[in-house]
């Protein structure tokens, strides 16, 4: 196996917020006020993931315990804040104020796994309604080679491994409460009208090119 030199030497010591303000004034069905508020929460996750990451380096590991320990709390908070960062970046970057279409390759695989494009869209909406304060995601499952929709609660509960996220939908109330109150269904419809299918398709094609990471010893 050839290791990627770039990846071997490409690291960051501090997370920095990415800029998504380019569509804050123009996204259909999402007010600027709501998007700014939402972006502010994302900046909060950036701050906290850096804070927890630094604390992990000096945490007391000798007292690590599954009932209660500083190290356990930091590990849980690290996954909460790291996923909070990554999921928001994937969410904001799969929104657009422009009309986009999925690629033929993505559409073909969706029709294979969901029978039709429309039944896939219905499945995404159902996953979003089924998710609590959390996320609905469309993901490519490396184990069965198929596309599935998943419901994630919070940022780090029920997160499937060996699954590459393609479409990300925020179902926390902070994502829609300002404009939609408790009307989650209308928010989901507005979201579906703003999906950047080009980006989602590129994520799918990138998933097909990546190593499966699924190394199992065989006799």
The answer to the question of residue 170 lying near Fe ion (CB under 5 A) is yes
The footprint of Fe ion on residues 6-65 (CB under 5 A) is none
> Minimum Å distance from CB 12 to Fe ion?
22
Closest to Fe ion by CB, 123 or 170: 170
The answer to the question of residue 89 lying near Fe ion (CB under 5 A) is no
- In 3D space, the residue among 100, 92, 91 whose CA is nearest the CA of residue 131 turns out to be 91
Q: Which residues of 12-39 are buried (b: 16+ CB within 10 A; e: fewer)?
A: eeebebeebeebbeebebbeeebbeebb
> Minimum Å distance from CB 79 to Fe ion?
16
Closest to Fe ion by CB, 34 or 163: 34
Phi, psi of 140 (to 5 degrees): -95, 115
Phi, psi of 154 (to 5 degrees): 55, -140
Closest to Fe ion by CB, 155 or 203: 155
> Minimum Å distance from CB 38 to Fe ion?
6
> By CB under 5 A, how many residues form the interface with Fe ion?
3
Tokens of 80: 């909460």
């Amino acid at each position: 196996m050839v290791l990627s030199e770039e990846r071997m030497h490409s690291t960051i010591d501090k997370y920095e917020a990415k800029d998504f303000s380019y569509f804050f004034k123009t996204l259909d069905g999402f007010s600027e006020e709501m998007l700014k508020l939402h972006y502010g929460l994302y900046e909060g996750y950036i701050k906290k993931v850096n804070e927890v990451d630094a604390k992990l380096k000096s945490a007391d590991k000798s007292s690590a315990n599954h009932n209660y320990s500083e190290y356990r709390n930091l590990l849980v908070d690290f996954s909460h804040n790291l996923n909070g960062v990554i999921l928001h970046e994937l969410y904001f970057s799969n929104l657009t104020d422009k009309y986009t279409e999925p690629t033929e390759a993505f559409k073909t695989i969706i029709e294979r796994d969901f029978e039709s494009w429309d039944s896939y869209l219905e499945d995404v909406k159902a996953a979003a309604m089924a998710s609590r304060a959390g996320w609905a995601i469309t993901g490519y499952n490396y184990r069965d080679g198929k596309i599935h929709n998943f419901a994630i609660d919070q940022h780090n509960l029920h997160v499937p491994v060996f699954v590459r996220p393609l479409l990300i939908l925020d179902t926390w109330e902070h994502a829609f409460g300002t404009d939609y109150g408790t009307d989650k269904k209308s928010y989901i419809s507005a979201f579906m009208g703003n999906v950047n299918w080009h980006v989602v398709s590129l994520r799918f094609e990138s998933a097909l090119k990546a190593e499966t990471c699924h190394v199992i010893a065989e006799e």
